[in-house]
Structure 1
Amino acid sequence: MLELRHLKTLTALRAHGSLAAAADELHVTASAVSHQLKELENYYDVSLVNRRTRPLTFTPAGKAVLKLADSILPQVTRTKANLKRLAHGQAGRLRLASECHSCFDWLMPILNKYRREWSDVELDFATGFEPEPHHLLLEGDIDLLITASNLELEGVAYQPLFEYESRLVLSPTHPLAEETTAIQPSQLADQTLIAYPVEAKRLDIIAKFMTPAEVSFKQIRTTDLTAMLIQLVASERGVAALPDWVVAEYEKKGWVVSRPLGHGIYCQLYAATRVSSKDTAYMQGFANLLEGLVKPANL
C-alpha cells in the first residue's frame, strides 16, 4: 500500500508545512493530498501528521516514512536520469582492446579526456592478445578494437587513424646496425625475433616481409611489455619490429637503433566498431576524439 506518491506527499508536506502549499508543489488539490494521507493512515491504522500544528508536524510513524522517503526518492531520481541517458546513448559501457600493444602512450590522453566528457560511461579494457579479436567485437565481448587489420567482416566498421612504418629494431652493436641499405629478409634468417605474444601471422614483419619472401626467423621469443622487448634487443638477445613512433623514443636515448625493412613496411591503424553500435552517442563521442588524432609527434 505504501507507494512512491505517498513518499512524495510527505516530503512536500515537510518542505511547506501545509496541505495547500504541498498540493501546489505536487500539482494536485489540497483535498487530494488530504485523501492520500487518510488513505495511508487508515491502511496502517496510525497517524502520520499532527494536523492541528502550524506548520504541520509529524508523528513518530510519519518520521519513519520520511526517513524511508529520504533514502528511496533520491535513488529513484538517479535511476530515472540514468535510464534517460541510457535511452539516448549517453551512458553505458565501452570495452576497448588494442592489437597495437605500443599504442597506449597516445591512447591514454584520449581516454582521460573521454572520461571527463563522458563520465557516465564505464571504460573497460580487454587483452589484445586474443587469437581473433575481431570476432570478440562481433560477439559483443568488446566494443572497440584498435587494429592494423581491416578484415572484410559483415557488421564491422573501420575508422582510419594514421599510417605508420614498422621498422627493424637492433642493438647498436648488432652487425646489421652497420648496414647502410635496407634490410632484406634473407639477412634475418639466422636471427631471433623478439615479439609480443600474438600469432606469428599477425606480426607485420612476418606477414608483410618474411612470409612473402618464404624466409623464417630462427626463433621467436615473446614478451608482453615494450620496455622488456627493448631491453632484450639492447642486450643482443634478438631483433624486433616496432612502429616508427615507438622506436624513435628509444633511439633518442641511444638504447637501440632502427633500420627500414626492404622498401618499407607501412601499415594503417584503424578503430574497429560494430556497425550496429557505432552511432550510439557515447560511441560517437569516442570516434570524434579519434577523428582529430594525428600520428604521435615524437618522431
Structure 2
Amino acid sequence: MLELRRLRLLRELSIRGTIAEVADVLSYSPSSVSQQLSQLEDEAGVQLLRRNGRKLALTPQAQVLVAHTEELLGSMERAEADLAATMSNVSGTVRLAVFQTAMLAVMPPVLRKLHDLHPHLRVEMTQHEPEEALHETSARNFDLVIAEQYQGHAAPIFETLDRRHLAHDPIRLALPLLGGEGNADFDRVTSLTEAATLPWVMEPPGAASRHWAEQSCRMAGFEPDVRYETADLQAHVTLVETGTAVALLPDLVWTQFERQLRFVDLDNAPVRTIFTAMRHSSARSPSIAAVRTLVHEQLKNQSA
C-alpha cells in the first residue's frame, strides 16, 4: 500500500529539484526526506530516483506516481471544500500571498470586513513576488494569490490555477511638486524623455516592474541612471517627494495616501494588470471564495 505522505514528498521533489529544498519547504531534515523516499521505493517495488550528477532525477515510474498524487491531492481538496460548504459558518485558514501594493492598499479594509463577516476565519498573509507566489500556490503552499504583471512581462501560466482579472492599474512618471527648493531640473520635466538626465529609483533587478521600467526608458531613448534600488514603494515615494529621484509608480499606491507628487502621463497610457489566482481544485472552498470575493469587491470600489 502506497502512503500518501510519502507520495507528497515525491511530488515535492519533482517541483523543487533537490532533497534539501524539499526538506526546507516542509521543515523536515534532509535525512528524513531521503529515508521516506527510500521507503516509498520499497512500497512501490520499483526504482523511483536515479543519480544525475549531483542531483536526483525521477524515473518514468516516479513521474506516473507524481501524476496520480496530483489527482489524489486535488480530490482531497475538493472533498474538504464540499464538506466545508455544509457548515453554517465560514471557518478555517486561508494562506494568502500578495505583492506589496496590494498588502498596503487593498488588504487592510478586506481583513476588517472578513473579521466582521466571518469571525471564525483565519487569514495568513505573506508578501511575495508574483512569480514565486504563483508557483507556490500551484504547489499548495498558498491557497490564494494576488499578483501583478506588466506589459511585455507576463506572469507564468500554471494549468492548475484559475486566474481572474482584478484591475488595470495605470502607471505614471512621478516627480516632486513644482517649485520645491533645488527642484529646477525636475520642474522642467513634462515627458519621460525629459527625465533622462535625472536620478531614478527602481525595484531591484529581477523584479518584473524593474524590467518594464528599464525597457520603457530605453524605448524613450535613454538608459536610466538608477541610483537607488528598493522593493519598498513607500521608499520610492519618499525619495521622489524630497526631490532625490524620479520613479514610475502605479496609481494603486495612492489609494490610501494623499498625493504629494506631480505626475506626468506616459505615451500609450501603460498599465499593470492585477489578478487573483487559486487552484481549480479549491474552487468550491467557502473560505477561499470569501476572501477572493471581498478582494475583488474592494478593488472595484477603490477604482470606481
Same fold, TM-score > 0.5, yes or no? yes
Contact in 1 for aligned 2:81/2:285 (Cα 8 Å) = no
Q: Percent identity?
A: 18
1:210 aligned to which of 208, 212, 217: 217
Write out aligned runs for 1:147-296 (5 A).
Answer: 147-149=147-149, 151-172=156-177, 173=183, 175-180=185-190, 182-184=191-193, 187-197=194-204, 199-203=206-210, 205-206=212-213, 209-210=216-217, 215-219=222-226, 221-247=228-254, 252=259, 255-295=260-300
Length-normalised TM-score, structure 2? 0.58
Kindly provide the amino acid, as one letter, of the partner of residue 253 in structure 2.
V
Q: 1:165, CA displacement in angstroms? A: 0.4
Unaligned runs of 5+ in 2: 1-79, 150-154, 178-182
Q: Distance in 2 between matches of 1:265 and 1:174?
A: 27
Is 1:138 matched up with 2:176?
no
Quick check: 2:189–2:195 contact (8 Å CA) kept in 1?
no
5+ long unaligned stretches in structure 1? 1-83
Q: 1:90-169 to 2 correspondence within 5 Å? A: 90-101=90-101, 103-129=103-129, 132-149=132-149, 151-169=156-174
**Alignment partner, residue 6 of structure 1:** none
Deviation at 1:86, TM superposition (A): 9.0
What's the CA shift string for 1:260-292, capped at 9, x where partnerless? 122221222111212221321111112222342
Q: Secondary structure of the equivalent of 1:262?
A: coil
Q: CA RMSD in A?
A: 3.4
Q: Which residue identity lines up with residue 178 of structure 1 in the other structure? A: R
Pick closer, same or farther for the CA change 1:212–1:280 going to 2, 3 Å: farther
Structure with higher Rg: it is 1
- How many residue pairs match? The answer is 212
In structure 2, the residue corresponding to 1:168 is in which secondary structure? strand
For 1:88, the aligned partner's letter is A
Q: What is the CA distance between 1:245 and its match in structure 2?
A: 4.0
**Are residues 229 and 276 of structure 1, via their aligned partners in 2, closer, same or farther at CA, if it must alter by over 3 Å?**
same
Q: After superposition, give the CA deviation of every residue in 1:122-147 in whole Å (9 maximum; x if it has no partner).
A: 21121224762211111122222111
Residue identity opposite 2:142 in structure 1: I
